[in-house]
Amino acid sequence: MLVRNPVDAVTIPRAERHEMRTMNESDIHIFLEMARPTQYYALFYAALFTGMRRSELLALRWKDIDLMLLQISVNRTLHQIRGGRIIIRQPKTEKSRRVVAMTPSTADLLKEHHESQNRLRESSGYPKLADDDLVFCQYDGKPLLPNTVSHNWIKLVRRTGLSGIRLHDARHTHASLMLKQGVHPKIVQERLGHSSIQVTLDTYSHVAPGLQQIAANKFDEIINNKVPSKSSY
Is the separation of the CB atoms in 120 and 139 below 8 Å?
A: yes
Q: Is domain 20-166 in CATH 3.40.640.10, yes or no?
A: no
- Cα 66 to chain centroid distance, Å, stands at 18
Whole-number percent of the chain with pLDDT over 90: 69
Q: Tell me how far apart the alpha carbons of residues 106 and 210 are, in angstroms, rounded to a whole number.
A: 28
Sequence-distant (6+) residues with CB within 8 A of 24 are 177
160 CB burial (10 A radius; 0-12, 13-18, 19+)? middle
Q: What is the largest CA-CA distance in the chain?
A: 83
Q: What residues contact residue 12 under an 8 Å CB cut-off, 6+ apart?
A: none
Q: What is the pLDDT of residue 215?
A: 77
pLDDT over 70 at 233, yes or no:
no
Name the pLDDT band for 216 (thresholds 50, 70, 90). Answer: confident
Residue 205 phi/psi, 5-degree rounding, is -65, -25
The answer to whether the CB of 62 falls within 8 A of the CB of 53 is no
Q: What is the Cα–Cα distance from 214 to 203, expressed in whole angstroms?
A: 20
pLDDT tens-digit series, residues 145-192: 999 999 999 999 999 998 899 999 999 999 999 998 888 889 999 999
Judged by average pLDDT, the poorest of 5-9, 84-88, 125-129, 223-227 is 223-227
Query: Going by DSSP bridges, is the β-strand pair 77-80/98-101 parallel, antiparallel, or unpaired?
Result: unpaired
pLDDT at 228 over 70: no
pLDDT band (50, 70, 90) for residue 16? low
SS3 78: strand
Question: Which tens digits make up the pLDDT trace of 23-38?
Answer: 999 999 999 999 999 9
Give the integer Cα–Cα distance in Å for 139 and 120: 7
Chain centre to alpha carbon of residue 189: 11
Q: pLDDT, tens digit, for every residue of 126-149?
A: 999 999 999 999 989 999 999 999
